[in-house]
A and B are shown apart, each in its own frame.
Chain A
Amino acid sequence: MSLLSRRSLLAASGAALATPLAAPALGQANWPSRPIQLLVPWGAGGGTDATARIVGSLLERDLGQPVNVVNRTGGSGVVGHSAIATAQPDGYTIGMITVEITMMHWQGLTQLNPGSYTPLALMNSDPPGVQVKADSPYQDIKALADAIKARPAGTFKASGTGQGGIWHLALVGWLQAMGLKGDHVRWVPSNGAAPAMQELAAGGVDIVTCSVPEARAMLDAGRAKSLAIMAPARNPMFAQVPTLNETLGINYSVGAWRGIAAPRNLPAPIAQRFGTALKKVYDSAEFKDFMTQRGFGTVWQDANGFASFMAEGDRAMGEAMRGAGLARG
C-alpha cells in the first residue's frame, strides 16, 4: 500500500465521523464534494476486497474524490451488508454486495434482501469449479461423477464454504442435475475456500466446489487439480479446465457474483452519475487486465439489469435452498 492510500484511509475515518453531520440533500447539487466510502462485507486480501479496491481506485479517477474501501466483516457477510443498507442514501456510502444477499434471508439470518438497496452495477461473477486432490483416483470429471453415482450416499465428502453457502448450493445443484439427492455427497462446512482447499490437500475431504481462482494457490503448488467448472463456457485463464456441459452434458451453472449498490432511495441523479462512472470503470483496460490476471470473470449489468438479475437470482436461490432443505422459516 502506498503512502497515498494510507492517507486516503485516514480520510475514510474522517468521512465516517462526518457522515451524520451532513444532510443528504445538502450535497446533491455539487456531488461529490467529499470522499466516498466503499464498504466491503468481506475481509482484506480476499477476492471481494481485491475487486472492490480496483473498482474504488478507478472510480476515484472519474469522480474526482477519494473512494475509500472499508472492510466491515463478520457474521458471514451480514454485518457488512447491513452497514451498506442502513447508511445514509446520500451518495457518500456505497458498497460491494455479493451473492449472499440473495441467500442469507432464506436462511433466516437477516431481513435484508436485494430490495434493501439501490442497485448500481453488476461487475463480476465466478462459476464454481470441481477440485480434487492432485493424486486423487479420479483424474477427470466423468470418472468422479460415475464414482459418486455408484457409491452409497455419504461416501464422498465435499467442502468449500459454510453450511448453505454458495459453493454448498453449487454442489447440491450439480448432484440434483445428475439425478441424485442434494445430500448424496456429505457437506463439511468450512470457514471459506482457503481452509477447505487445505483440508482437501490434507486428505480430509474428497471434493471442493469453490471457484477456480480461489483454488489457485493449491493448484499452482501442484497439490490439487480442477476437473471442471459449472459454467456455460471455459475460463480463458484456466483454459484446460472443461465445463460440465461439454463433459457430462449437464447444463447447470450458478455463480458467486459481486456488484456495487447503494442504500435504498439514493437520489436518481446520483445513481445515474454512478452508473456512467461504473460503466467507464468496467470498460477500462486496467479493470479488464486486473480481473483477467486474477482469473476473475467479468459481467456487466446496469442498474435496471442488475435489479432484475438479483430478483431472478433471489427467486432461484429460494427454490434451490428449499429443495436442499437449507431454507428456514
Chain B
Amino acid sequence: MDALMQAFGLVFDPFVLAVIGLSAIFGMFVGAMPGLTATMATALLVPVTFFMPPVPALGAIVTATTMAIFAGDIPGAMLRMPGTPASAAYADESYAMTQKGQLNLCMGVNLVFSVGGGLIGVAVLIAFAPMLAEVAINFSSYEYFWLACLGLTCAVFMSNADPVKGFLSLFFGLLLATVGIDPAAGFPRFTFDDVNLMGGVNFIATMIGMFAVSELMRGAVTVDATTKVVAQAVGNLFRGIGGVFRRYWLNFLRGSFIGTAIGALPGAGADIAAWISYAVSKRFSKQPEKFGTGEVEGIVDATSANNSALGSAWIPALVFGIPGDSITAIVIGVLYMKGMNPGPTVFQENPQLIYSVFLIFILANLIMLPLGWVAIKSARQILRVPRNLLLPVILLFCLVGSFAMTNSLYGVVLMLCMGILGWIMEEHGIPIAPLILGLVLGELLEQTFVQSMIKADGDYLDFFSRPIAGVLGVVTLTIWLVMLARGFRRGPVAAPA
C-alpha cells in the first residue's frame, strides 16, 4: 500500500503531468502522420527521456505510444493511409465508411473502442504482471533458456512474411548479438580490436536506425508532396456509439482479449493483433460478405485489439526482460539505463515505479478521450505539415538519441549503418522485428545455455529437470516439430517456374 501511495505522489507531480501532456500531443501527431510509427515515437523520445528520472521517462513512452496507436486510425479513415502499421488492417474498411458519409461514426468508434481496449490491456497487465513475477522469482537459467527459445520462435511464427525470410532476419540478429565480449568465457568476439565493438551492437541505436532512419530513406526516395484530405467535416463524434456498443459488445471484448494475448507474446505487437482480430471478426460474423464495404463490425474488433496489445506487451518485458513488441524492446533499454533492470526482482526493489507505470497507463487511456477528440477535429491541419520539413527534424532526433545511448559517435555511426541495412531489408520483404528480437535475446539465450550446461555438467536432460522448465521445453520442441512437419508436408513451395 505504501508503494501505491508513493506511486500516486510520483505521478501526480507537476513535472510528470506536464511530460505526460506533452508526450500525448507528440504521440497524437506522430501517430496521425502516415509513415511515422509508434515505435518511431518511442525511439525519438529516447534522447529526451535520457535527461529525466524514471517515472516521467517511462510516462512519456507509455503516453506517446497509447496516443499514437489510436491516432493512426485518423488518416486511415481520411486518406486510406494508415498512420501506423497497427491501423493497416482496417484502413480500407474505415475509408469505405468515410465514402459512405459515416466519417463521424467511424472516428467515434475508433476513439471510444481504442480507450476501452487500452483499459482492458492495462487491467490484464496490472493483474498478471505481479503474479507472474512471483512465479518468475523461482526461474533459473533453464527456464530462461526455454523462454528465450519460445520468444525467438514467436518472432518468426508471428510475422506475416515468408518464414525463410523471417529466419534469415532472426539469424542475422543472433549473429549481431555475438559481437562483443562473450558472456560465458569473457573472450572478445568479432571486435577487430575496436574498443567500441567490445561493448557489442547497441540495440537501441540499432532500433532507431532500423525503424526511423529506414523510414526516412523511404520517405526521401518517394516524397509524395501532396496528400488529399477528405473534405468531409467532422461533427458530433459520439452520436451512435451507444448503439454500436449494444450491438457489438461481444466483438469489443473478443478483440480486446485477442489483442491482449498477442501483445503479451514476444515479438508480436499491435499491428499483428489488429490483423488477427479483424480476421477473427470476419470469420465469426453473421454477415462476412459486408466486410470491406464500410461496415463498423470489424473495426470494433481491430481498433480495440491494437490498443489492448500495448499494455500487455509490458508483461514479458517487465517480468522476464523479453520484449512483447518492438516498443517494449526500446523500453527494456530505457529501464536498464535508469537502473531498473527488468526481471522479477524489479517488483520487489522498485514497486513504486511499477505502480507509477500502471497509473500512467490508466491516465493515458483516460486523457485519450478528450485529446483524441481534439486530434480528430484538427486532423486536417496535422495532415498538411510538409514532409520535407518533418523528415530532417526526425533525423536530428535520431542522431541525438543514438549519441545518448553510447555517449559517443559509435552509436551514431551504428544507427546510420543499421538504417541503411533496415531499408534494404524492407525493400526486399525481409521483416525487421525478428532481427531486433534476435539481437535483444541473443545474449540471454547464449548465457543461459552456457550457464545451464555448466550447472548440468553437460547433461542435456537437465534442461527438463525442473517442472516449469520441463513444460516450457516440451512446448518449445513441439512447436518446432509442428513447424518442421508442416514445412515437409508442403514440400518446396513456390519453386520458381
Contacts and interface: CB of A to CB of B under 8 A. Distances in A.
Interface in B137-151: 137-143
B345 A217 contact: yes
A298 to B, nearest CB: 22
A162 interface: yes
B496 interface: no
A204 B141 contact: yes
Interface stretch (A75-83, A140-148, A240-248): A75-83
Interface in B390-448: 403-404, 406-408, 443, 447
B52 to A, nearest CB: 7
A44 B339 contact: yes
Interface stretch (B77-85, B266-274, B449-457, B487-495): B449-457
Interface in B293-336: 336
A10 interface: yes
A285 B83 CA distance: 56
A325 interface: no
A163 interface: yes
A9 B48 CA distance: 12
Interface string A89-111: 00000000000000000010110
Contacts of B457: 154
Which of the four size classes fits the interface of chain A? 35 or more
Interface string A1-15: 101001001100100
Interface residues of B, number: 48
Contacts of A163: 184-186
A57 interface: no
B53 interface: yes
A299 to B, nearest CB: 25
A75 B199 contact: yes
Contacts of A154: 457
Contacts of A186: 454-455
Interface string B192-213: 0001101110100000000000
B337 interface: yes
B138 A202 contact: yes
A6 B52 contact: yes
A198 B181 contact: no
B195 A49 contact: no
B180 interface: yes
A191 B183 contact: yes
Given A45-B339, A203-B138, A76 B181 contact: yes
Given A9-B51, A79-B196, A204 B339 contact: no
Contacts of A201: 137-138
A201 B138 CA distance: 7
A49 B403 CA distance: 20
Interface string A177-218: 000000000111111001100110111110000000000011
B162 interface: no
B195 A16 contact: no
Interface string A137-163: 000000000000000001001010011
Contact of A75 (B53, B198, B451): B198
A6 B339 contact: no
Contact of B454 (A13, A109, A188): A188
A70 interface: yes
Given A74-B200, A75-B195, A82-B195, A202 B345 contact: no
Contacts of B141: 188, 199, 204
A201 B339 CA distance: 21
Contacts of A253: none
B338 interface: yes
Given A78-B195, A189-B451, A217-B348, A162 B186 contact: yes
Contacts of B53: 1
Contacts of B336: 43
B339 A202 contact: no
Given A154-B457, A199-B141, A202-B138, A79 B195 contact: yes
Contacts of A204: 140-142, 451, 455
A34 to B, nearest CB: 18
A154 B143 CA distance: 22
Given A9-B51, A190-B451, A221-B348, A164 B181 contact: no
Interface string B173-184: 000000011011
A191 B444 CA distance: 10
Contact of A44 (B140, B188, B337): B337
A71 interface: yes
B340 interface: yes
A73 interface: yes
Nearest to B143: A202
Instruction: Tell me which of B202, B343, B345, B408 has the highest count of chain A C-beta atoms within 10 A of its own C-beta.
Output: B345
A45 B340 contact: yes
Contacts of B51: 1, 6, 9-10
B183 A198 contact: no
A79 B191 CA distance: 12
A46 interface: yes
B341 interface: yes
A73 B137 contact: no
A231 B43 CA distance: 46
Contact of B345 (A44, A74, A194): A194
B345 A164 contact: no
B283 to A, nearest CB: 42
Contacts of B343: 194-195, 198
B455 A109 contact: no
Contacts of B403: 13
Contacts of A217: 345, 348-349
A72 interface: yes
B100 to A, nearest CB: 51
A159 B448 CA distance: 13
Interface string A304-329: 00000000000000000000000000
16 contacts: A9-B50, A43-B336, A43-B337, A46-B339, A70-B407, A74-B406, A76-B186, A78-B181, A79-B198, A110-B195, A188-B451, A189-B185, A189-B186, A189-B450, A189-B454, A191-B183
Question: A-B pairs with the 3 shortest C-beta distances?
Answer: A45-B339, A74-B199, A204-B140
